[in-house]
Structure 1
Amino acid sequence: MLKNKVQVILSFLNKQRNMFSIGLPILVLGIFCLLMTLSNVFTETYDIERFSTAKETVRSPVTIENVEETERRTREAVQAVEDRYDISSEITQERVQYVNELFDAIHKLENSDEKAEDKIPKTIPEKAQYISQILTPELSEAMSQESIVALLNASESERSIAKELLTTSLYDVLNAGVRTENLESAVSNLKQSLRYSSLNQDVKEALYELSSFAVVENSFFDVETTMEAQKQAASNVEPVMIRAGEIIVREGQTITNEIYEKLDLVGLLNNERNIFPVIGLFLLISLICATISYELHTYSKSNNLNPGKILAIVIIIIFMVSVMKVISIYNTSMYQFFLLVPAATGAMLIKVLLNERVAIVLSALFALLGSLIFNGEIPGAFNVEAGTYMFFSQFAGSILIQNLQDKSAILKAAIGITLVNEIVILLFLFLTFESVTIPEVLIHGGFGIASAFLSVILTIGMIPYFEAGLGILSESKLLTLANPNHPLLRKILTEAPGTYHHSVMVANLSETACEAIGANGLLARVASYYHDLGKTERPHYFIENQMGIQNPHDLLEPIQSAEIIIRHPYDGAMLLKKHKIPKEIVDIAEQHHGTTLLKYFYYKAKDKYLDVKEDAYRYAGPKPQTKEAAVICICDSVEAAVRSLQEPTMEKIEEIVYSIIKDRLNDGQLNECPITINELHVIRRTICETLAGIFHSRIQYPTKQEKIKEAK
């Protein structure tokens, strides 16, 4: 019970230590990124007075509407709308009918049948008097006797011309709209159209008098139509915007009231800096740091995340952000220097030092930071082109970089990144509406090529420093250690050839099993090569190296033999440390036997002596701490056990593998590593399948003696 509580406490403390080891560097990283990008959200303020001279050219840091200017233009547009009037067609028809009434009355009177009507007047004055009596009262009052007499004296054709001319002109005037303020001018215009006719003067005078009566107000102010027109005019006014990057005042220009108001509007005169952009930047950096922390925590569950790797992540991010910040200083709208950023360097370094997943996630975060850093220091703006270019360049790098020891693979990666860079650059050129010259295309294309090859060169150049300075075990380092010409591997081969063969077999089993559960197969293979290095100190005390000689353990006491055998993991660890072999391999060499019991010599001692302490026949540990160490622990015993079989069959092999895994589990050897029961099942199945391929069925050819017996 007490032991379980201690394990729980130790597990809790271990988690707290891991959180602290990740959290503190990420906090430092977040502060660095915040300081580096602060100028991209802050705007510089100026101490400028009205009517002074600008000492430098000032651009707007934001895109904002000039509300006052928009309102002024709206007012002008509304005021420019003319009043809308409704012309009454009823009044127009009414006034024309009055004219027709007069001429029709005269025409009817002049063409009446004298025999049929005795009361028809005969003289002109009588006719004029008669006309006045039968006309509408309004018309009768407006027309004098002289005007009617003048029309009566005119000939029929002359009256017809006068009627046609007057009604046509009256229609024109009234249809144009007659308002109170232009009534006199409308009458004057109508008289003017009559003045130059061929009619005699008396008829013209009569028409003038009739015109003064016929022309009346027929156009009235329409409130609804006018208001609708004003609304339409106001809605057609575009908002007056001050665009981000727009020049507000040039160097040497006088600060007028209008310019001063613009400077004040965009916040360039406010000495109290706006805190909101800083809050937004803080939230962005917090999300980025949280994402990095999550990825590192996820990585630590299945891989060895030591302080060196965490520090490497911090250094890489600081390096990439610093490079982007320096290049952003020289970035212009004409020459997009963000294309020159060796963006793929960060992704490739992380891919080599950690894994592809972390590299791709951090590629997206680098791209996000890049789009902020290259925003031209315009608060709230992100350079989407820069972010897109950097993401695809990094994504290509993290996918294409494989083996840094293979020079052709490195060249292929550089060419692949170049191709992706050029595709993204062409994408920008095709999407833009602006005309692009051939020299610009060549320059930007050259930037893309330089970025790709510079990224690969920096990656190759920086990897050794991370490996040596921070003790990081990368894939390239593992491949170097796996070289059979390595001094330690040659030492094992020459001094303990049986152990060398055993290590190669364990490496094959371990690599396959680790890859099956998602662990680092390459690390397991290389660590297997070195795990029994300690046997080279006393090679003949290990059975695989005893070729045709007497077993020296036959001459020793069990406790002496146990001490010699138990020493080999720690002798190997000392040799590995002496030759500066990475800590991960040293740890596996120490842990590959855990605290297991040396059963052969323990039971041999019990048969010989009564008082035998079990602890004296157990390895000192520590127990396996990683999945790779646990797999090697299992495969080491499996290989030795299967090699001892006289006639290995699949049934025997499966039984041995199962029993060894069960024994390690029951003995608590796997309690301190993050391996699951399900993964143990996968390991067991994978080991059996691999051994089946090694000890596959062969045709048993008969010996010479068997052939002789069959012949008899």
Structure 2
Amino acid sequence: MKSTRLSNIINRISKGKWFLQVGAILLIMITFFILAFPNVYTQTYDMEKFSTTKETIRAPITIENEKETERRTREVVQSIEERYQISTEITEERIGFVEEIFEAVKKIKEDNLNSTEEGVNTESELDQLKQILSPEINNADITNKQWRILLDSTDNERTLAQELITTSLYEAFDNGVRSEEQSNVIRDINQKLQYASINEELREVLFQIVNFAIVPNSFFSADLTNEAQKQATDNVEPVMIRAGEVIVQEGQLITNEIYEELELLGLLDSERNYFPVIGLIILFLLLASIIFIEFKEYEKIAKLDRAKMGAIVLVSLFVAIMLKMSSLYMTSTNHLHILVPIAAASLLVKILLSERIAIALSIVYSIIGSVLFNTEIPGLLNLEAGIYFLFSQLAGVYFLRNIKDRSAILKAASGVVLVNIATVLLFLFMTYEKYTWIEYLTYSGYGLLSALLAAILTLGMLPFFETGLGIISDTKLLTLSSPNQPLLRKLLVEAPGTYHHSIMVANLSEASCEAIGANGLLARVAAYYHDLGKTVRPHYFIENQMGMKNPHDYLEPAQSAEIIMAHPYDGARLLKEHKIPKEIIDIAKQHHGTTLLKYFYFKAKEKYNDTKERDYRYPGPKPKSKEAAIVAVCDSVEAAVRSMDHPSQKEISKLVSSIIEDRLLDGQLNESTLTFQELEQIKKVICETLNGIYHSRIKYPTEEKNKEDDRLDY
């Protein structure tokens, strides 16, 4: 007993929508995970120092070699020379002493020249000079003889000497004089003075003045040195090991440095790294969540059945294999991803399901493509390939509009061509590499070929999905809506009244569906075929009798009811024989639901007291979709309106309200998910459409004529 209950629970779960969706998503994600695993898994090696490697090993990730960065930083710091700060105060002070000497000598010479006193000689001038010179100068190691030589020199000689020594001092002090360089600086200046055009005695005096004037004016600065070292350290670029960089060539000796790099990259057995794999799992969980959410959003507007789920799985598997096979031949230079006809996926999904799911899956496929095209370098995503795939697919979604025939796919492909070429040129122009015009044309040609292949694949695979999986797409519906379709021609020739009735129902149904966001094209095409079963016995239906005698006048009510109630199922059988999509067959079978055939029921009740209502009700099923319910309502409305004699807006509104209310009270709309708000909108659209067709010549029948209404069903 317990095992039976468990089995029943499992069966109910297995039939649930969520189980189907989760199963499909898991299948897609597991497939992509298996294909992407080699692109993120870090291969490890068992090797020892100073052994020879048997293969070329590349870096799987981009990482900083901190030890090498620290070593380079130390070298840079050590190469920075000590920084010294020059004291301008000392410079000005020492040169000021020199200028003081020459100015004092000049002053004394001028004063004595203008003096009227007798007995002025060199000795007195020397005394005067020492009295006016600064103590620092007097303490200098300059002899009286040297002072006398300076005093005895001419003005021109002193002027030239002052210019020579001042210029040399400024040059030396501006360059900075360190204590350890003081003697060298003095020697250099004296060497320059050696060749000056002045007499030997005066030159010796200048040598002595230089010895006095030159003192250190450049001193070590810890702040400047630290600042220079810091600036140099900041300019040191981190030593990076780039993903894809060759660490060791085949046959190369494993040095200590190479071994450390392998250890740093986690390529040794003791450093196995599973983090990229964990990251891949998280990525696919996020992508699976996106797909699952989009499935739930899609179910709000349409049914996500097994066929559509199968289509998504097959498209995803097709994309997975296509991307993986292409990536095997991908290198860092051949840009093979441009040739991948990825837009075929978005075109197929939009045609078979919806634009929103096509956009969501385009994002998913693009992200996965960036992983598969990373040239198997873990930690690297090929963003160029991912962006190209995304733009190409979104272009397919955007440009695929107004699908009236399969030529719309070719028109969309022309838009994809433009986007592909623009994306290709975008990356070529942004790169630092230089390309020739031949390469620009070649890669643009790849984008063109990718779009053409996408169109060819879409056109080639679409019939498989439509026929093999029984998915009804807009292109399939448009094909079925053609007047040249054999079944529609059969309806037109064998039951012209029914054909006209179906056209009217189609117009009402499409307008009503579009008003509430349902599939208007599906409702229109289904309405074309909903009464196909009447072609089995066309003259038993009043719209096809055209002046002939009514055959039901010669039949029992039960026989007539049996003939009339068979037409939905005859139609479903014919549609199934001609392999018409299941959605249209369902609407044909459900458009009368389990409604009561009132005319023959009341007629039988007048003759037979034991008449049972269930014998005059359609077997069903009731309408199970919004489109089926709308076709059912519009079918009854159109049939009732045709019997009216005096149309008016008021009567039209009253008639439509009556029919919708009757269907509600009879429970015919219970399984269709239509809301009261949607029914109000449907009523409004039907009334507007009928007013446009019948103007003001409609008369609604009285309750007493209820049974006459049902004669319009046959």
Match of 2:149 among 151, 160, 175: 151
Distance in 1 between the 2:101 and 2:649 partners?
131
Partner of 2:517: 518
User: In structure 2, what is the equivalent of residue 291 of structure 1?
Assistant: 290
- Residue number in structure 2 paired with 1:4: none
User: In the alignment, does 2:684 pair up with 1:685?
Assistant: yes
Q: Distance in 2 between matches of 1:294 and 1:669?
A: 32
Shift in CA distance, 206/315, structure 1 to aligned 2, threshold 3 Å: same
**What SS is found at the alignment partner of 1:351?**
helix
Q: Is 1:315 paired with 2:314?
A: yes
Which residue of the partner structure matches residue 187 of structure 1? 186
Match of 1:353 in 2: 352
Is 1:328 paired with 2:292?
A: no
Give the Cα separation in 2 of the matches to 1:424 and 1:256: 45
The answer as to whether partners of 1:147 and 1:203 remain within 8 angstroms in 2 is: no
Partner of residue 569, structure 1: 568
Corresponding residue of 2:5: none
Deviation track 1:350-392 (CA, whole Å, cap 9, x = no partner) reads 1221233322332233233323332333444443332333333
- Alpha-carbon distance between aligned partners in 1 of 2:410 and 2:291, rounded to the nearest angstrom: 30
Greater Cα shift, 44-53 or 72-81: 44-53
The residue aligned with 2:701 is none
The offset of 1:286, in angstroms, is: 2.4
Aligned equivalent of 2:603: 604
- Provide the residue aligned with 1:664 in structure 2: 663
Cα distance in 2 between the residues matched to 1:565 and 1:210: 137
Equivalence for 1:82 = 81
Conserved 8 A contact 2:366-2:390: yes
Distance in 2 of aligned mates of 1:101 and 1:486 = 121
Alignment map for 1:134-283 (pairs within 5 Å): 139-140=137-138, 142-143=140-141, 147-148=145-146, 151=149, 155-156=153-154, 165-197=164-196, 207-269=206-268, 272-283=271-282
The residue type paired with residue 287 of structure 1 is L
CA contact (8 A) 2:417 2:448 kept: yes
Question: For the structure 1 residues 505 and 14, does the alpha-carbon distance in structure 2 shift closer, same or farther, using more than 3 Å as the test?
Answer: farther
Match of 1:637 in 2: 636
Could you list the per-position Cα deviations for residues 414-444 of structure 1 after superposition, in whole angstroms to 9, with x for gaps in the alignment? 4343333333333334444432212212322
Deviations 1:300-357 (A, max 9, x none): 2222321011110111011012201211222234321111111121112112212333
Report the secondary structure of 1:581's partner residue. Answer: coil
Aligned to 2:712: none
Counterpart CA distance in 2 for 1:650 and 1:100 is 119
Give the aligned partner of residue 459 of structure 1: 458
CA drift at 1:275: 3.6
Q: Counterpart in 2 of 1:445?
A: 444
Shift of 1:274: 3.4
Q: Quickly say closer, same or farther: Cα 1:455–1:174, change in 2 above 3 A.
A: closer
Q: Match for 1:598: what amino acid?
A: L
Question: Structure 1 counterpart of 2:665, which letter?
Answer: N
Question: 53-62 or 619-628, which moves further after superposition?
Answer: 53-62
Rounded Cα–Cα distance in structure 2 between residues aligned with 1:540 and 1:14: 48
Residue 70 (structure 1) aligns with: 69
Distance 1:673 1:60 in 2: 60
Give 1:397's aligned residue.
Answer: 396
Where structure 2 has 5 or more consecutive residues not aligned to the other structure, the ranges are 1-8, 698-714
Measured at CA, do residues 345 and 106 of structure 1 come closer, stay the same or move farther in structure 2, by a change above 3 Å?
A: closer
Greater mean alpha carbon deviation, residues 550-559 or residues 108-117? 108-117
Q: What's the offset of the Cα at 1:398?
A: 3.0
Structure 1 partner of 2:372: 373
Aligned partner of residue 302 in structure 1, secondary structure: coil
Cα distance in 1, alignment partners of residues 560 and 133 from structure 2: 151
Q: TM-score, normalised by structure 1?
A: 0.84
Judged with a 3 Å threshold, the aligned counterparts in structure 2 of structure 1 residues 179 and 679 are, in CA distance, closer, same or farther, namely same
How far apart, in 2, do the equivalents of 1:592 and 1:271 lie?
Answer: 71
How many residue pairs match? The answer is 685
Q: Which of 625-634 and 683-692 deviates more?
A: 683-692
Equivalent residue letter for 2:437: I
- The aligned counterpart of 1:590 is 589
Cα deviation digits, residues 540-575 of structure 1 (max 9, x gap): 443334455554444544444434433332333334
For normalisation by structure 2, the TM-score amounts to 0.84
SS at match of 1:220: strand
| Pair 312,168 (structure 1): closer, same or farther in 2 beyond 3 Å | closer
Task: Flag the 1:113–1:563 CA change in 2: closer, same or farther, 3 A.
Answer: closer
Quick check: 1:154–1:203 contact (8 Å CA) kept in 2?
A: no
C-alpha distance 601-154 of structure 1, shift in aligned 2 (>3 A): same
2:601 partner letter: Y
Alignment of 1:44-123 (within 5 A): 44-96=43-95, 98-99=97-98, 112=112
Task: State the distance in 1 between where 2:635 and 2:126 align.
Answer: 142
Structure 1 counterpart of 2:383: 384
Does the 8 Å CA contact 1:513/1:686 hold for their aligned counterparts?
A: yes
Once the two structures are TM-superposed, the CA of residue 659 in structure 1 deviates from its matched residue by: 0.8
Task: Measure, in 2, the Cα distance between the counterparts of 1:364 and 1:69.
Answer: 40
- Superposed CA deviations along residues 222-278 of structure 1, whole A, max 9, x for unmatched, are 222222232233333333334444444444554444444444444444664434333
SS at 2:41's partner residue? coil
Over 3 Å counting, the alpha-carbon distance change for 1:107 and 1:39 in structure 2 is: same
Cα distance in 1, alignment partners of residues 240 and 590 from structure 2: 70
CA distance in 2, matches of 1:348, 1:520: 19
Indicate the larger mover: 128-137 or 582-591: 128-137
Corresponding position of 2:417: 418
Q: CA RMSD in A?
A: 3.7
Distance 2:210 2:129 in 1: 18
In structure 2, C-alpha distance between the alignment counterparts of 1:614 and 1:570, rounded to whole Å: 20
Per-residue CA deviations over 1:632-660 (Å, capped at 9, x if unaligned) read 11111112212223444444333222211
In the other structure, the counterpart of 1:21 is 20
Higher mean C-alpha displacement, 246-255 vs 347-356: 246-255
Tell me whether 500-509 or 637-646 shows the greater mean CA deviation.
Answer: 500-509
Separation (CA, whole Å) in 2 of partners of 1:200 and 1:697: 135
Identify if the C-alpha distance between structure 1 residues 601 and 212 changes in structure 2 by more than 3 Å, giving closer, same or farther.
same
Question: What SS class does the counterpart of residue 86 from structure 1 fall into?
Answer: strand
Other-structure match for 1:709: none
Q: Distance in 2 between matches of 1:543 and 1:462?
A: 44
Question: Which residue of 2 is the match for residue 703 of structure 1?
Answer: none
1:483-498 to 2 correspondences below 5 Å: 483-498=482-497
Does the aligned pair in 1 maintain the 2:105–2:151 contact within 8 Å?
A: no
Contact 1:147 1:209 in 2 (8 A): no
Distance in 2, Cα, partners of 1:506 & 1:399: 32
Residue 705 of structure 1 corresponds to which residue in structure 2? Answer: none
For structure 1, which segment, 85-94 or 292-301, has the greater mean C-alpha deviation from structure 2 after superposition?
85-94
Give the deviation of 1:680 after TM superposition.
1.5
Question: Structure 1: how far apart are the matches of 2:572 and 2:629?
Answer: 17
Provide the C-alpha distance between the structure 2 equivalents of 1:123 and 1:348, rounded to a whole number of angstroms: 114
For the residues of structure 1 that align with 2:210 and 2:574, how far apart are their CA atoms? 128
CA separation of 1:324 and 1:271: change in aligned 2, threshold 3 A: farther
Q: Secondary structure at the match of 2:300?
A: helix
Judged with a 3 Å threshold, the aligned counterparts in structure 2 of structure 1 residues 377 and 122 are, in CA distance, closer, same or farther, namely: same
1:537 to 1:271, Cα distance in 2 relative to 1, 3 A: farther
Task: State which drifts further: 564-573 or 201-210.
Answer: 201-210
| 1:143–1:475 CA distance, 2 compared to 1 (3 A) | closer
Distance in 2 between residues matched to 1:516 and 1:245, nearest whole Å: 57
Q: Which moved more, 1:653-662 or 1:70-79?
A: 70-79
Cα deviation code 1:54-84 (max 9, x no counterpart): 5444443433333333333333333333322
Gaps of 5+ in 1: 1-9, 699-712
CA contact (8 A) 1:96 1:170 kept: yes
Q: Which amino acid aligns with 1:151?
A: I
SS of match in other structure, 2:236: coil
Measured in 1, the distance between the counterparts of 2:466 and 2:563 equals 34
Q: Which moved more, 1:461-470 or 1:151-160?
A: 151-160
Contact 2:498 2:543 in 1 (8 A): yes
Letter in 2 for 1:688: C
